[in-house]
């Protein structure tokens, strides 16, 4: 499963299929050298996005 953001354009418009700019996963998700990451991983599963648990408001 991939994040819902992979189905969005740069302007935030939802697409029916994976955005062409997100097609090659290895461009972003595979380290090219054995170094410490510059930023932390903030990945959130699609099932967690935009959904509030009952009673959390």
The answer to whether position 56 is within a domain reads: no
**Residue 43 covered by a domain:** no
Domain presence at residue 14: yes
What is the per-residue pLDDT for 3?
A: 83
Angle, CA 26 vertex, CA 23 and CA 29 arms, to 5°? 105
The DSSP code for 53 is: P
Q: Is residue 38 part of a domain?
A: no
Nearest C-alpha neighbor of 25 from the set 44, 41, 3, 40: 3
pTM value is 0.42
- Whether residue 46 is contained in a domain is answered as no
Q: How many domains does the chain have?
A: 1
Q: Which domain holds residue 1?
A: 1-30
- Helix residue ranges per DSSP H, the chain: 26-29
Residue 53: per-residue pLDDT:
63
**3, exposed or middle or buried, with CB in 10 Å at 0-12, 13-18, 19+?**
middle
Please check whether residue 55 lies inside any domain of the structure.
no
Q: Over the chain (57 residues), what is each successive 10-residue block's mean pLDDT? A: 84 87 72 81 77 62
Task: Note the pLDDT of residue 52.
Answer: 63
């Amino acid at each position: 499963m991939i994040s819902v953001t992979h189905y969005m354009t740069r302007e935030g418009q939802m697409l029916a299929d994976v955005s062409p700019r997100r097609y090659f996963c290895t461009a972003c998700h595979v380290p090219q050298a054995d170094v410490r990451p510059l930023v932390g991983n903030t990945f959130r599963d699609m099932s967690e996005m935009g959904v509030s648990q009952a009673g959390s408001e």
